[in-house]
Amino acid sequence: MIEVLVTLVIIMLGLMGLLAMQLRSHQAELESYQRSQALILLSDFVARINANRKAARCYELTDPAAGSPYLGYGSNLAPSCTSWGTAELQAQAVADLTAWDALLKGAAETLDGSSVGAMIGARGCVSYDAAGDLYQISIAWQGLIDTTDPVSVDAALTCGKDLYGSETRRRIVSTTLRIADLK
């Protein structure tokens, strides 16, 4: 009888270990899925800016020091542009920003009428550095487990800063874009 009890305890410990491994695997899969989604949205938005180069400054909306304002989760920002390019190009920039806002809020996929197609708490930032003539496009979201604080890796990664509780839960992908001035 004691041998059977010991065997059951050993099997139970093994199954608990298997369950813990399955949980960790699920978390890693979701983190990977969210990163893939963020990279797709980032690439899409860079392409939108490249396609509307003459009104590229219309896409600038974020103060790089503060990491806000932003589009996406929790944002009520209404994109607008009246200063760069023609009226048609300005309208295209506003349409691109509005579409990106909807995609960050999950509009690409719905479940029972609710948007569920984006990362957890997805926010998008676009800042412009006139000195280097560079745009920085970033997407931030909330991860499931603690990692490294993005600002400790690169101080310029301010998009969504202090909006996800612990900074070690904030995930961010970012790229820079330079628009050539061809004459």
pLDDT of the residue at 183: 58
Q: What is the pLDDT of residues 109-168, one digit of tens each?
A: 766 776 667 788 889 999 988 888 889 999 999 888 888 888 777 878 888 888 888 888
DSSP per residue over 114-181, as a string?
A: EE--S-TT-EEEEEEETTTTEEEEEEEEE-SS----HHHH-TT--TTTTSSSSGGGEEEEEEEE----
82 pLDDT exceeds 90?
no
Q: What is the pTM of this model?
A: 0.82
Question: What distance in Å separates the CA atoms of residue 63 and residue 134, rounded to the nearest whole number?
Answer: 13
In this prediction, residues 62-90 reach a mean pLDDT of: 83
User: What are the contacts of 119-123 at 24+ separation with CB within 8 A?
Assistant: 119/34, 119/37, 119/38, 119/171, 120/34, 121/72, 121/73, 121/74, 121/160, 121/163, 121/164, 122/38, 122/41, 122/72, 122/73, 123/70, 123/71, 123/72, 123/73, 123/74, 123/75, 123/159, 123/160, 123/163
